[in-house]
Amino acid sequence: MAGAFTAAETGALARLDDTPGRRILVTGAAGHIGAYFAENSHRRYDLRLMVQRPEEGLRIRAYGEVVVGDLTDLDTMKGFCRDMDTVVHLAADPRPSATWQSVLPNNIVGTYNTFVAAKAAGCARVIFASSVHAVSGHPVDRQVHTADPVNPGDIYGVSKCFGEALGRYMAEQEGLSVIILRIGGFQPIETARHPYNLGLMDVFVSDRDLTQLITRCIDVRGLRFATFHGLSNNRFNRMDITDARELLGYVPEDDFGAEHPLLKDVNFHTRVLTHDMTDTTQISGLREDLP
């Protein structure tokens, strides 16, 4: 775990500063994650919402200042980052099938420009939206931890590995606080209730759980760098969320297995053995030697 984060100072790490009105730039603000986050956090933060085309900003303009620009223009990005406390960088071509011709400008150049612009503008932190695809090349029978090496499953995942590496460089060598957030299958809870979506069982993250996690990444103090996994409270998570629980106080509310019609009657959390003393079927041999 220690290899996945760096403290900015000695002492307790999980300190949250929920002072209202902090200024946040959100790139990709018209996307599914960005739009939901804007709608559900605009009363907490002063939002600047970046979109690529004017029409994209129509449905989110009630939640903050909408700005239109291109990630590949470094000067534009510097202007958008000016006077911002934190940048939540969500913009990218998110398709697992994305080709190099799209990944290069959108996910590589755009990410570089966002980090450099944030540093140049004096922002305190960048939260980089990475993905489970950065580690999806690991065998499916092992859970991925935040300190494990990246192992991308596609070119899209390769682009996220670039962002993770750049983020660590910017944190450790340039002094910009950076949090890497590897996001799973972001969906509303209703998606978990559809029988055809069983494939999301181990990577599901609900819209409200991810919004809680992004909020905690913005508010946490004392971290120079960290990697967290963005999944809900699923019984069989592909990526371990312990760091987010312990360092951020993340408390996911949703569980794919409790919602899916083929799984909810199984009741994984109570019927699957944990093989420790939380199992009511076991009694520790120590008990006979205790008063």
Enumerate the active-site residues.
Answer: 156
**Is 157 in contact with 131 (CB distance < 8 Å)?**
yes
Q: How many residues does the chain have?
A: 291
d(CA 209, CA 228): 13
With residues binned 3-state (H G I as helix, E B as strand, rest as coil), the percentages for the chain, rounded to 5, are: 40, 20, 40
CA distances from 46 to 65, 66, 101, 212 (A): 8, 11, 35, 17
**Is 243 in contact with 5 (CB distance < 8 Å)?**
yes
Strand pairing of 204-206 and 185-187? parallel
Crossing angle of helices 110-121 and 74-81, rounded to 10°: 40
d(CA 42, CA 149): 35
d(CA 239, CA 69): 34
**Is 60 in contact with 66 (CB distance < 8 Å)?**
yes
Give 187's Cβ-side CA count (13 Å radius): 19
Burial of 148 (0-12, 13-18, 19+ CB in 10 A): middle
